[in-house]
Structures are given as structure tokens and as C-alpha cells.
Amino acid sequence: MTLRGKESDPHKVMAEAFELRLRHLFSTSEIKLGKKIHSVGLKPDIYIEHSDGQKWVYEMVQGNKKPSHLMENHQRYHNAGIHDFWILWDDPHPIINRPPLNQGLFLQEIDNSRFVEHVNKLTKVIYSIHADHYTDHRSMLYAFDIDQELIENEHTPEFMKVFAYGIRVYKTQDYSVGLDKLKVSSELISLPELGFDQNGFVVQNPSDEYDSGPSNDFDFAQEGFIIPEDALEKIKILESDKNKQAELISLKIQIIYNQLTPNEREEIDKCIKNGGMTNLKLPDFLGILNNQPISMGTGSGLMNIAKISKAINQWVDAQVSFPPAMKKLFAHLLYSDDMLSIGKAMKWAENSSAVKGLNFTCPK
């Protein structure tokens, strides 16, 4: 990724994370980092222009920033028809206490906790800027979030560490200029799930509706999304134990199968009973990787798994002997886009000098 000199590591981490997701989700759009936009005379951290003419910018706010400076820049973006979004490194809200390590870790806190926020000068301006993109009384505030404990816990599998990076979104439905207090709700969106709506606002990217999720596969506790350490250890084994990986696939097939309708299950049973899956000549799926490694423990390895999953799904979809229900089961079992998102995020975290430069000895 393109980096600019003299940026702090936190600033680079935020810009890189947003660039990662924007390039993944909008691969055909024009994306520029730190380049001057001549129509406004400013150099946003990230500028994206879509084929339909929509233009968005994402500005990372780290350290002391004058609220008046943000508002001046916003007016220039606004006059040029550009939606601008401002992301804080320093979350002005109290950090939610997570359970002690011996009780497990939070993968994600409960969404939509509601409270009254006392806004300061900076957050008041950012709420005002984001409200400009709505026609009603909605607005929101974004703060970058890093779960240090999830990253540093020895039990955390590598592919789960990327869920420690995310955006905390604070939403209000009753914004009005000049208010010192706002009723807000909050949610945390992890980096692999980070998405954007049609206007550029941060949203959770929709995942596979039949994804059984870690709580079903590993007996995670449901309340508060707590991950017990013994569950983390089960997942960590998956990174190297192929037998355990096979067990997980069998379990996920059963879970997805049980979520199908009775008619769909009957279709699959009839296909298997009538030999619809026998005497099939399977392609050499591993050959498409040219001996590149597959692994759940590295970003590149997981991206290769996603590549194979996509190839298998394409092959399954082309089989005339497979009923629609069978193809549906495979599509949900081998949901390659989720694996690709996680793999890309892992590869970024593994290679980013800015991530390596973060000082976790000082709480974020």
C-alpha cells in the first residue's frame, strides 16, 4: 500500500485499514491516497470516485486537531459535491471493560448499547459534518478501535487477530446544531466486516446468511460474545491439524443442511441416493495455486483457501446433475468472500510497518 512520509503509525494504520476495505469492495473505482484534489485544493487521506460520479473522502484525525479547521475543509468538500468522513484515533468515550483473560476474550461487544453523550468541541463539529450528508436528524461519529488483549493473548489464532481491528460507530437519531448532549447508540464493526453504504457511510458488510458462526462450531458463550480460552485453543489447533479441519467441515455441512427447508434436504438426499455425486471427475483444484501453500495461519494461506473455495463453487455450479439445493449447500459451505476478506486483513497486519510500530505498552 502507498504510504506517505511523516505520518504517525496510528494515522497510517487507520488509512491503510480503510484503503484495504475500499479496494476490496470497490475494485473498479478510482482510489487515491494523499493526492491533491484540484477541485478543492486539499489532500485527503483517501479519495474515492465511483463510475456513477459519487465522490467520497476519508480523513483520519489523530492528535490535536482544530475543530474550525475540520469545518473549513468540510465546507470545501461540500461545495465540490464530495461526501467527507472523519475518523478519530482517540475515542472520546470510556473504554468498555473486557473480562479478565482467564475468563476469555470479547470478540465483539454487544451492539447498540445506548447512552447520553456529552459532546466536546471536536466531536460536535464531526457530528455536524456527518449530519450534512443526511436530510433528517441523523448523524454519527467514528472511532478506530483496537483490542490489544485479543492480539496479544497467546491463545488467539492468527486468523482471529484481525477482528481486533475495527471501527466503533456512534449513532444519533436526534442531532441538532448546537446541542451539548446527544442520545447515541454504539456498535463495533470489525475490519473484515467493514462496509460502506451508497453514500459512503460506514456499515457492517453483509455476511453469509447460513454462516454457522464460531459460537456454533466451538461452543462459544452467547452472552456478550465472550470467547472462553478453551474455545480459542480449539480454534488454534485448526491452523495445523488437517483432521480437525475435516471435522469442522463435516460439522458445518450438518449445520447448513439442517437450516435448509425440508424440500431442499429431500433434493439433496435424492441426489446422493441416485448416485448423482458418483463417477464425477474432479478437477485438480490445488493445481490452480502453482504449489502455493494453503493455511489458516497466514494471510496468503487463507487467501489461497478462498481461491480454491471459489473454484470449487464454480465447478459445482456447472454440474447439471446437482440439484439447486446441493449447489446452495456448497455455496454457503465454501463462502469464499469472507475468507478472502479475512485473508487480506491478515496479510495487511503481517506486512504493515505501521501495525508493527504501534506502541501497545500505552493504552489506546
What would the pLDDT profile of 49-65 be if each residue is shown by its tens digit? 999 999 999 999 987 67
* Distance, CA of 260 to CA of 228 (rounded, Å): 30
pTM score, whole prediction: 0.78
- Per-residue pLDDT of 104-153, as tens digits, reads 333 444 344 566 666 788 888 999 999 988 878 889 999 999 988 888 88
Q: CA angle 139-143-149, nearest 5°?
A: 145
Confidence of residue 217 (pLDDT cuts 50, 70, 90): very low
**Residue 321 φ then ψ, to 5°:** -80, -10
pLDDT band of residue 183 (cuts 50, 70, 90) is confident
- Dist CA 281 CA 325 (whole Å): 21
**Backbone phi, then psi, for 185, in 5-degree steps?**
-120, 155
Tally DSSP H helices, then E strands, for the chain.
Answer: 13, 12
Q: 207 near 168, Cβ under 8 Å?
A: no
Classified as helix, coil or strand, 196 is strand
Q: Residues 131, 84: contact at Cβ < 8 Å?
A: no
What dihedral do alpha carbons 324, 25, 255, 249 form, nearest 10°?
100
Query: What DSSP letter does each residue of 208-241 carry, written as one string?
Result: -TT--HHHHHHT---GGGEE-HHHHHHHHHHTT-
Q: Which of 203, 200, 195 is nearest to 82 (CA)?
A: 200
H or E stretch covering 310 = helix 299-317
- The answer on pLDDT for 363 being more than 50 is no
Decide if 213 contacts 222 (C-beta within 8 A).
no
